[in-house]
Amino acid sequence: MFYRAAGTFKTSYAADMAFYPLPVSRRAVAALLVLLVVLPPLFASDYVLAVLDLILVAVVGAVGLNLLTGNTGLISIGQGGFMAVGAYTSANLIVRAHAPFWIALPAAGAVTALIGTMVGIPSLRIRGLYLTIATLAAQFIIEWMINHVTWISGGIQATIQMPPPVVFGYSVHTQAGFYLFLLPFALVAVIAAKNIERTRLGRAFIAVRDQDIAAEIIGINIFRIKLIAFAISSFYAGVAGALYSYYLGIANYEQFQIDVSIDYLAMVIIGGLGSVTGSILGAAFITLLPVVTRRALEAISGLLPAGLDVPGIVPELRLCLFGGLIILFLIAEPEGLDRLWRNVRTYFRTWPFSY
Amino acid sequence: MQTTRRTVITTAAATAGLGLVGRVRAQQKQIVIGEQCDRTGPTQLVGNILCPAVMHYKDLINKNGGVGGYQIVINESDNQYQVPPAIEEFEREKAQGAVSILLYGTPQTEALSPRLNADHIPGTCPGFGPASAANGAHNPYVFPVAATYWSQAAASIQFVKDQLGGSLHSKKIAFVMYDNPAGHEPLPVFDRLKKMEGYDFKIYAVPPPGIEMGAQALDIAERYRPDFVIMHIFGRAPSVALKALRGVGFPLSKCLGFVWASAEADIEAAGGWGVAQGYHTMQFAGVGTDYPVHQQIEAMFKAEGRQPPAVMNNSVYYNRGLLGIALHIEAIRLAVAANGGKPPTGAEVQQGFQSIKDFSLGGLVPPLQLTPSDHEGGGWVQIYQVKGNAMVKQTPWFRGYRDMVEKMIATSA
C-alpha cells in the first residue's frame, strides 16, 4: 500500500537502473540506515551490542558464501578455514609490521582470495558434491598448516594477540565502538555483493549455476568464472575472519573449525540461496537462534517441577529446540527466509488485492 | 493452515515475551558468580559431573549463612565447548553483575582472557587453558588455580623418573597427545627436560576427537616399546587409548594419564576397572568421597528428604568442581573481609584470589598458594593408581622441576 510505482517517471538510464527507483523505498532505506547507525550505540546494552557485533561479522561471511554457493552453485564447507586464513594474515601483519586496519583487512582478504583460488582449481575437473569434498579437505588442510607452521600461527598455542583497531586516533575497545567499526564493513560488503549480482560477472555466475554446459557454449569461460567466484567469496571470508579476530582480540584457528563452516552454510541455505537479503536474514537467524532459545528456555525453566536437574535438562532441550526450529522454518518455506520476507513485501505491495 | 499459522505465531510471540520478561531478581544481599559449562558438547562427560558439584557446594554455603552475610547466586550457562556462545554468555553474566567467572574450555579461556583483563572480572581455568596464564603479571585476571599443562608435564617426568629407578638416561618415553594447541602445550617442557635428563621421546599426535587409536597403540607396543607412556588426551579419547593399549597387550602399569584422562568415567568407558588395572592417573584435586565436604553435602540432601545424587560418586570430576567453586567462594570471603563487608567488585575478588593460602578443604585441595605473580598456586598434583575396583593414592601432593617451570612462566608472553 505504500509501494506505489504509479506516478514515478524515470528520465535517465541511471534512474531506471537504480537500486531503489521509488522515493518511498529510498526514504525507507535511508531511515533504516540512520536507525542502524544511531540507535544501537545510544540505547542498546553491552549485551545486545555484543550480539549485534557477532551478527555483523556473520553477515560479511554469509554474503561472501552466498556469492559462491547461492549464485554460482559451488557448495563450499571451507568457509571456516578461509576465515582462519584471513584472521592469521591480519594478525601477523598487525603484530609484525604494525599495519593499521585499513591495510591489514584488505591484505587479509587478498591473501585469502589467493588461497581460495588455489582451492578452486580442482573445479576444472570436479563438480557438485565432489567439489564440496575438496573444500572440506581445504578446511582441514588449512587447520593443519596453521597448527604446524609456527611462522603462521605465532607459537605452539596458535594464538596471536591483536591490539584493538585504531580509527582516526581513537582506539576501539567498547562494544558500541566495535559496532560502529564493524557496521561500515558489513554495509560495504552487502552493497558490493548486490552490485556484483547486477553486472555481467553476476549473470555469468548464475549461468554457471543453472546450466554450465549451455554457459560454456555461449562463450562464458566457466573455469575462469568459478575461480573468480572462489576468489571473491574467499576475500569476503578473509575479511570476516579478520574482523572477528579484531573483535575477539585474539586470532586462533580453533574458532574457525568445521562447525563454523557448517554454520555459514546453514545461514546461506536458511536465508535463501542466491539472495543477499537472504544471507543477511540467515546470518541474523543462525546467530540469534541459540541466544533466543536459551533465554526462552530459561524463562520457562521456572515452570519445570522442582527437584529436576534443570541445568542439565535445559541445554539438552535447547538443542532439540534449535534443530526443531530449523526444520520448522525449512518446511514452512524451503526457499528460505528471503522468500518469507518477499511474501510479506508482496502482500503490502499488492494490498488490497491478493496478487 | 490459517489457524495453524496464527497459533504458531502467537506461541512464538508468547515465548519471546517470556524471554524478555526474564527472571525476577531479588535485590537482597547477593553476590553473583558466572559459571560456564559444557553440557551438550564434546566434553559433556566432564561437564555433566563437574557443574552440578558447583551448584551443590553453593547450596551448602548458602544454607550455612552465605559468605559474609551474602547469598551466592550462580548463573550456569552451556557454552557447548564453542567460542561465540562463551562470549555471549560472558557479556550476559557481566550484565548480571558477576564478580567472578568459572571458565570452561581452553579456546574459550583464550578468547575471553582479553575481556576479563579489560573488564576487571577474575576467571578461573583449573587444569586447562594456556600455561602462560599462570603468569599473574601478564594476565592479572586469569587464574589457573591448579596445575597447568606445563606443571603436569614436569610432574609426570618426575614421577616416571621415580618409577624407573631414579634415572631416565636412555629410557624411552612415548607421549600421546591431541594434534591441537592444547596438545602441543607441554612440548617445550618435555624438550627442556629431555636435555636435562637424557631420555628418548617420541610424540604420537592423535587428530581430535581421537576415537581411533589402533595404529598408535600398535606402534607403541610393537615398534617403539617405550618404558613409559604419557597420555595427554581428554574427552572420549582416554577410554579409547586404554582399550587400544590393552588390546595390543601393553601393560597399563607403564601408562600415566594427565589430569583429564584420569577419571572413573574414563575407566568405565574403557570397559570397567578390570581393563584399566595398574593405570596411573594424575589428579589436581582429591579423589574419593570420604572428605568432610562430601558428608556435609550428603547431609544437606538428606535434610531435604532427597537422595544424594549419583553424580557424587564420580569423585574425580565432582571434586574438581568442588575445588573450583570453593576457591571462588574463598576469594569472595577474603574480598568481603578486606573491604569491610561491602559487596565486592571484580577487582577486589581478584585481590582475594591472590591472597588465598592454607585452604585445603580437608585435603581435597592441594596446598595452594596464589600470589600476584603465581596464579597457578604451585602446580601441585598427586598420582592415583587403579587397583582392584578403586583408585588408590600412590604419591602425596608433589610437583616436579618447579624452578624450571617457574622460569618458563616468568618469561612467557
How far A173 CA sits from the closest chain B CA (Å)?
Answer: 9
Q: What is the pLDDT of residues B366-398, one digit of tens each?
A: 888 888 888 888 889 999 999 988 889 999 999
The pLDDT value recorded for residue A138 is: 95
Give the CA count within 13 Å in the CB-facing half-sphere of B237. Answer: 24
Task: For this complex, say whether ipTM is above 0.85.
Answer: no
The answer to whether A241 and A86 have CB atoms below 8 angstroms apart is yes
| Residue-range definition of the domain harbouring residue A240 | 24-257
B72 and B195: one domain?
A: no
- Which cell goes with A281? 536474514
Q: Is residue A314 part of a domain?
A: no
Quickly count: other Cβ atoms within 10 Å of residue B394's Cβ. 14
Q: What is the pLDDT of residues B178-225, one digit of tens each?
A: 988 888 889 999 999 999 999 999 999 998 888 888 888 888 888 999
**Chain B residue closest in CA terms to A290:** B85
d(CA A185, CA B364): 52
Query: What percent of chain A is predicted at pLDDT more than 90?
Result: 62
Measured distance between the N- and C-terminal CA atoms of chain B, rounded to whole angstroms: 62
| Of A159-163, B95-99, B130-134, highest mean pLDDT | B95-99
Exposure b/e, A55-85, CB count within 10 A at least 16 = b: bbbbbbbbbbbbbbbbbbbbbbbbbbbbbbb
Q: Is residue A189 part of a domain?
A: yes
Q: Which residues contact A5 (CB under 8 A, 6 or more apart)?
A: A21, A22
Distances (CA, A) of B259 to B255, B287, B316: 13, 12, 9
SS3 assignment, position B231: strand
Residue B9 confidence (pLDDT) above 90: no
B136 and B185: one domain?
A: no
Interface touch A157/B188, C-beta < 8 Å: no
Average pLDDT (B157-182) is 90
Asked which of A233-242, B8-17, B264-273 is least confident by mean pLDDT, the reply is B8-17
The CATH number covering residue B60 comes to 3.40.50.2300
B50 and B76: one domain?
A: yes
How far B251 CA sits from the closest chain A CA (Å)?
Answer: 31
The pLDDT value recorded for residue B132 is: 82
B253 and B334: one domain?
A: no
In A, which residues are within 8 Å of B78 by CB distance? 294, 314-315, 318
Average pLDDT (A176-197) is 95
d(CA B344, CA B323): 21
Q: Is residue B21 part of a domain?
A: no
Mean pLDDT (chain B) is 87
The pLDDT value recorded for residue A146 is: 92
d(CA A126, CA A134): 9
d(CA B180, CA B150): 15
Q: Report helix angle A175-198 to A23-43, nearest 10.
A: 160
Q: Which residues contact B365 (CB under 8 A, 6 or more apart)?
A: B285, B286, B323, B326, B327, B359
SS3 assignment, position B132: helix
How far B152 CA sits from the closest chain A CA (Å)?
Answer: 17
Mean pLDDT (chain A) is 90
Q: What is the pLDDT of residues B45-81, one digit of tens each?
A: 888 899 999 999 999 999 998 888 899 999 888 888 8
Average pLDDT (B317-344) is 91
Residue B11 confidence (pLDDT) above 60: no
How far B253 CA sits from the closest chain A CA (Å)?
Answer: 30
B247 and B375: one domain?
A: no
The pLDDT value recorded for residue A306 is: 62
B95 and B217: one domain?
A: no
**A39 CB-contact burial (10 Å; exposed 0-12 / middle 13-18 / buried 19+):** exposed
> Could you say which of A46, A156, A254 has the minimum Cβ distance to residue B91?
A46
Residue A121 confidence (pLDDT) above 70: yes
Total of domains in chain B = 2
The answer to whether B176 and B230 have CB atoms below 8 angstroms apart is yes
Average pLDDT (A333-349) is 89
Q: Is residue B292 part of a domain?
A: yes
How far B143 CA sits from the closest chain A CA (Å)?
Answer: 18
Per-residue confidence band for A307, with pLDDT thresholds at 50, 70 and 90: low
- Which cell goes with B307? 537422595
Query: What percent of chain A is predicted at pLDDT more than 70?
Result: 98
SS3 for chain A is CCCCCCCCCCCCHHHHCCCCCCHHHHHHHHHHHHHHHHHHHHHCCHHHHHHHHHHHHHHHHHHHHHHHHHHCCCCCCCHHHHHHHHHHHHHHHHHHHCCCHHHHHHHHHHHHHHHHHHHHHHHHCCCHHHHHHHHHHHHHHHHHHHHHCHHHHCCCCCEEECCCCEECCEECCCHHHHHHHHHHHHHHHHHHHHHHHHCHHHHHHHHHHHCHHHHHHCCCCHHHHHHHHHHHHHHHHHHHHHHHHHHHCEEEHHHCCHHHHHHHHHHHHHHCCCCHHHHHHHHHHHHHHHHHHHHHHHHHHCCCCCCCCHHHHHHHHHHHHHHHHHHHHHHHCCCCHHHHHHHHHHHHHHCCCCC
Measured distance between the N- and C-terminal CA atoms of chain A, rounded to whole angstroms: 13
| Residue-range definition of the domain harbouring residue B76 | 27-147+286-380
In A, which residues are within 8 Å of B94 by CB distance? 46-47
B269 and B402: one domain?
A: yes
Nearest alpha-carbon partner for B152 in B50, B213, B233: B233
Q: Which residues contact A334 (CB under 8 A, 6 or more apart)?
A: none
Length of chain A as a residue count: 355
Q: In degrees, to the nearest 5, what angle opens at C-alpha A328 toward C-alphas A325 and A332? A: 140
**Chain A residue closest in CA terms to B93:** A47
Distances (CA, A) of B313 to A59, B40, B290, B366: 47, 21, 11, 20
B272 and B180: one domain?
A: yes
Instruction: Give the residue, B367 or B31, on which the prediction is more confident.
Output: B31
In A, which residues are within 8 Å of B121 by CB distance? none
How far A255 CA sits from the closest chain B CA (Å)?
Answer: 6
Give the best residue of B81, B83, B312 to mutate against chain A (max A CB count within 10 A): B83
Give the best residue of A156, A313, A317 to mutate against chain B (max B CB count within 10 A): A156
SS3 assignment, position B111: helix
B275 and B167: one domain?
A: yes
Q: Is residue A242 part of a domain?
A: yes
Per-residue confidence band for B412, with pLDDT thresholds at 50, 70 and 90: confident
Distances (CA, A) of A336 to A279, A294, A341, A342, B62: 9, 23, 9, 10, 49
Interface touch A300/B184, C-beta < 8 Å: no
Per-residue confidence band for B23, with pLDDT thresholds at 50, 70 and 90: very low
Distances (CA, A) of B245 to B35, B143, B233, B386, B400: 36, 35, 14, 15, 27
Q: Is residue B199 part of a domain?
A: yes
Query: What percent of chain B is predicted at pLDDT more than 90?
Result: 41
Interface touch A309/B52, C-beta < 8 Å: yes
A&B contacts, CB < 8 Å:
117
**Chain A residue closest in CA terms to B11:** A296
Task: Sort strands A250-252 and A166-167 into parallel, antiparallel or unpaired.
Answer: unpaired
User: Which residues does A contribute to its contact with B (CB < 8 Å)?
Assistant: 45-47, 50-51, 54, 144, 147, 155-159, 161, 173, 175, 248-250, 252, 254-255, 259, 287, 290-292, 294-296, 298-300, 302, 307, 309, 311-312, 314-316, 318-319
B140 and B32: one domain?
A: yes
The pLDDT value recorded for residue B26 is: 46
Q: What is the pLDDT of residues B107-155, one digit of tens each?
A: 888 888 888 988 999 999 998 888 888 888 888 999 998 889 999 999 9
Average pLDDT (A89-112) is 94
> Could you say which of B18, B92, B115 has the minimum Cβ distance to residue A47?
B92
The answer to whether B143 and B353 have CB atoms below 8 angstroms apart is yes
Residue B19 confidence (pLDDT) above 50: no
In A, which residues are within 8 Å of B118 by CB distance? 173
The answer to whether A222 and A215 have CB atoms below 8 angstroms apart is yes
How far A229 CA sits from the closest chain B CA (Å)?
Answer: 28
> Could you say which of B39, B92, B179 has the minimum Cβ distance to residue A315?
B39
B404 and B264: one domain?
A: yes
The pLDDT value recorded for residue B12 is: 54
Instruction: Give the residue, B111 or A203, on which the prediction is more confident.
Output: A203
Total of domains in chain A = 1
Say what the pTM is. Answer: 0.88
Strand (E) or helix (H) holding B297: helix B292-303
In B, which residues are within 8 Å of A252 by CB distance? 107, 110-111, 181
The pLDDT value recorded for residue B123 is: 94
Average pLDDT (A193-201) is 94
B256 and B323: one domain?
A: no
